[in-house]
Amino acid sequence: MGELEGVSVKGTLMLLILARERTDRFLSVGAISKGEEEETFLDSLRFFLRQLRRKVGWGDLAIQVGLHANDLNREAKTILEQAQMSRVKAGSE
């Protein structure tokens, strides 16, 4: 996974998590239909990228989808650790 300009791999994961959370929330309240998920996810990703470029902090981004910054960090860290374990496991086979 390449890096977005100025955003680490962990930061990229956090953006994807935020976009997923926003999309899931829209779906759960009926603001979008099932067929609009992909478009809404991409729109959400652009929404958060614009804010990140304006130097909005991770905590402020997380709050917008009902997450705490610690939860966002923990989820991204878990994904990275799982990916690392998968690579190690694949290398030992």
pLDDT band at 47 (very low <50, low <70, confident <90, very high): very high
Is the Cα torsion angle 63, 67, 71, 72 positive or negative in sign?
negative
- Give the integer Cα–Cα distance in Å for 27 and 84: 31
DSSP state of 36: G
pLDDT band at 48 (very low <50, low <70, confident <90, very high): very high
Say what the pLDDT of residue 39 is. 97
- Give the integer Cα–Cα distance in Å for 62 and 89: 32
Cβ atoms within 10 Å, residue 38: 9
What mean pLDDT is predicted for residues 10-19? 94
pTM: 0.83
